[in-house]
């Protein structure tokens, strides 16, 4: 039972990190498109949101353990 619970947690964490890595890859590819201060601000905001989502999920997981 304990092993199954740990595998389930690992799978959830793996899925979450895979999604975040994918989002970061997309964001990273867009860095060369930044041509103005406003575009840079939008780029940074999008990047921060991707990391913030993962951090929020991480905190939620820590509170349920």
- pLDDT tens digit sequence for 27-37: 888 889 999 99
38 burial class (0-12, 13-18, 19+ CB within 10 angstroms)? exposed
Strand, coil or helix: 46: helix
Q: Does position 1 have pLDDT exceeding 80, yes or no?
A: no
Q: Does position 58 have pLDDT exceeding 70, yes or no?
A: yes
The pLDDT value recorded for residue 65 is 65
Provide mean pLDDT across the span 17-39.
Answer: 90
CA distance 50 to 22: 10
Where are the chain's structural domains? 2-64
Q: What's the pTM value of the predicted model, to 2 decimals? A: 0.62
């Amino acid at each position: 039972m304990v092993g199954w619970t740990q595998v389930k947690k690992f799978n959830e964490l793996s899925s979450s990190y895979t999604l975040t890595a994918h989002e970061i890859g997309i964001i990273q590819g867009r860095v060369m498109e930044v041509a103005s201060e406003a575009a840079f601000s939008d780029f940074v905001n999008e990047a921060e949101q991707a990391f913030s989502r993962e951090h929020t999920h991480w905190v939620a997981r820590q509170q349920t353990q």
